[in-house]
Amino acid sequence: MKKSAISVLLSFVGIALVLGLWAAISSIVSPDLPSPFKTWEDSRLYILQPWEKRGEMDQGIGLMTAYSLFRVAKGFALAVLIGTPLGFLLGSSTMFFRMFDPTIQILRPISPLAWLPLGLILFRQSEPAALFTIALCSMWPTVVNTMQGVRAIPQDYHNVAKVLRLSPWRKFTKILLPATLPYMFSGYRLSLGIAWLVIVAAEMLTGTPGVGGFLWQEYNSLIYSHILLCILTIGIVGFILDRLMGFAETRLRAA
Amino acid sequence: MSFLKLHNIAKSFGQRSILHNINLSLAEGEFVSIVGASASGKTTLVKIASGLTEPDRGAVTVGGQPVRGFLLEAGMVFQNYSLLPWLSALENVRLAVEPAFSQWTPKQHTEQAMKYLEMVGLRNAALKTPGELSGGMRQRVSIARAFAAEPRMLFLDEPFGALDALTRATLQQELAQLCRAAGRPVTALMITNSVEEAILLSDRIHALGRGPGATLSPSFDVHLPRPRSAGLLLHDAEAVSLRHRLVEFLAAGALAPALIQEVA
């Protein structure tokens, strides 16, 4: 109990130090950077009335975050729905692995900024283009982790399936799926992290309402303190998402 | 009339020859053990005999027909139990019952699984997962799983190798009891590193020489009456002489020192 109290205290000390550094930079190095206090002053309307809608690009931070989260949820769901079966196929078939692994290794490092224009060409609308980008960028950890999970299944379990004469479907539901589940969830956690990274870029480029879109528009309107508001929001939401997935992951490993 | 037959089996892994010129035949209802030191290729032998692994040369036949894939109506008990940790003891056993009796109702599957868990004394642990069970209990579940499918042929790959001596002795007796109580001939092939265990359970024993290129000894018949107790093994003149002959054979083949120590 005492130890955890100290670690909470220390984390606040850390935050205070970073705020101090921020204040110092804004007052000494770059006067264009709003100080923490100015950021709060300019942003309080958005924070204290988070669900207020004053215009298409002038909404409370809660609404903006909700738009982004909803978009991420859709893109992430797409990534999971495509990535998981793909990972299973790659993990269970050597032929399939040899056929597609090089392609995947090439597609994996491509930045969302590169995918987005392609999405716009394909779908001619910003929303599906954003989902396409999120799904395509965040899919790979799910694919790779699921694949590794399937490969890590001990030969003994495969032998058990042979000895018990399990049907392919029974083998999948009773052996492959449960054995791979912890790996899959590690993949999902990483994928969600990437999806949240990608959302900002996608919204910036498409100019859709959301934290990323808001950030870009406020940069263009020269309201720099709102950029900092968006950055902090993105960080905090990303942190919460990761913690939630981490919680689900530990529950799964314990079970 | 032989039931399971191995003809001139040979197996290598890369350059290393594991088994060489293995011939073995089991009559229906016979319990045969193969005794050998660790790393002598015993596990490979049982995997080939059961159809889990293909031999490089030679063939396995059942009733004269060549075997493809894991034997029909056969069960296997693995040294490391190989239970699925996310399923309860009952579900683990049930998983073997379902494909074996596919025409049954789910209720009958559960009853059959429960019946065999009861036979190994695990009625009260049926809903526990393997992680909550001791090593001995896990192997009991694994034995129940093998018997619950009511196989005609049973493969036992060092079934008690990972257990302490006391648990081992109890489980050996339980296994003998299950074979007697089956009400039908159960043909069994057991792999073990313990000469005593082999004498306690078998009708016949072969020793497997030490690899590379291990071959089988001639058969040692065990004529002791059943049920056999551990005491019988210590005092019965035939049991003592049989044990000596087996150990001498194993020693003469310049075999594992560990094995000789264990028996002495």
**pLDDT of B114-163, one tens digit each?**
999 999 999 999 999 999 999 999 999 999 999 999 999 999 999 998 88
Contacts of A160 in chain B (CB under 8 A): 78, 82, 84
Best A153, A157, A160 member to test B by mutation, with max B CBs in 10 Å, is A160
Taking an 8 Å cut-off on Cβ atoms, the answer to whether A174 and B87 are in contact is yes
Report the pLDDT value the prediction gives residue A255, as an integer from 0 to 100. 58
- Minimal CA–CA distance to A71: which of A121, A115, A139, A130? A130
Q: Which residues of A touch B (CB under 8 A)?
A: 156-157, 159-160, 162-167, 170, 174-175, 178-179, 255
User: Residues near A215 by Cβ (< 8 Å), separated by ≥ 6?
Assistant: A200, A203, A204, A226, A227, A230, A231, A234
Report the pLDDT value the prediction gives residue B255, as an integer from 0 to 100. 46
pLDDT for A29 beyond 70: yes
Any idea of the CA torsion for A49, A53, A55, A59, to the nearest 10 degrees?
50
Taking an 8 Å cut-off on Cβ atoms, the answer to whether A160 and B100 are in contact is no
Find how far residue B159's CA is from the centre of its chain.
6
* The residue count for chain A: 255
Could you give the CA distance from residue A174 to residue A161 in angstroms, rounded to a whole number?
A: 9
Judged by a CB distance cut-off of 8 A, whether residue B75 touches chain A is yes
pLDDT for A191 beyond 70: yes
What is the complex's ipTM, to 2 decimals? Answer: 0.85
Summarize pLDDT for B77-96 with one digit per residue, the tens: 998 889 999 999 999 999 99
Q: Is the dihedral of CA A65, A68, A70, A72 positive or negative?
A: negative
Q: Which residues pair with B31 in a beta bridge?
A: B188
Q: Helix or strand or coil: residue A57?
A: coil
pLDDT-derived band at A121 (thresholds 50, 70, 90) equals: very high
Report the pLDDT value the prediction gives residue A201, as an integer from 0 to 100. 87
pLDDT < 50 regions, chain B: 255-264
- A212 and A130 in contact (C-beta within 8 Å)? no
Contacts of B145 in chain A (CB under 8 A): 164
Given its phi and psi angles, is residue B92 left (phi above 0), alpha (psi -120 to 50 degrees) or beta?
Answer: alpha
**B57-62 and B65-66 strand pairing:** antiparallel
- Minimal CA–CA distance to B42: which of B164, B193, B163? B193
Q: Helix or strand or coil: residue A250?
A: helix
Taking an 8 Å cut-off on Cβ atoms, the answer to whether A156 and B96 are in contact is no
Nearest CA distance, B201 vs chain A (angstrom): 23
What is the pLDDT averaged over residues A173-183? Answer: 93
The residue with tokens 């804004």 is A26
Best A157, A159, A164 member to test B by mutation, with max B CBs in 10 Å, is A164
Give CA separation, A195 vs A69, A201, B66, in Å.
10, 10, 55
Q: What's at B241, amino acid-wise?
A: S
Nearest CA distance, B132 vs chain A (angstrom): 12
pLDDT for A172 beyond 90: yes
- A166 and A38 in contact (C-beta within 8 Å)? no
Which of A162, A164, A179 shows the shortest C-beta gap to B95?
A164
Q: Helix or strand or coil: residue A61?
A: helix
Q: Is the dihedral of CA A202, A208, A210, A216 positive or negative?
A: positive
Give CA separation, B231 vs A248, B215, B224, in Å.
55, 32, 12
- B163 and B171 in contact (C-beta within 8 Å)? yes
Nearest CA distance, B85 vs chain A (angstrom): 9
Taking an 8 Å cut-off on Cβ atoms, the answer to whether A174 and B98 are in contact is no
* The residue count for chain B: 264
Concatenated DSSP letters of B193-247: S-HHHHHHH-SEEEEB--SSSB-BPPPEE----SS--HHHHHH-HHHHHHHHHHH
Assigned token pair, B21? 């010129």
Report the pLDDT value the prediction gives residue A123, as an integer from 0 to 100. 93
Report the pLDDT value the prediction gives residue B84, as an integer from 0 to 100. 94
Q: Which residues pair with B76 in a beta bridge?
A: B155
Which of B52, B96, B149 shows the shortest C-beta gap to A159?
B52
Could you give the CA distance from residue B39 to residue B209 in angstroms, rounded to a whole number?
A: 10
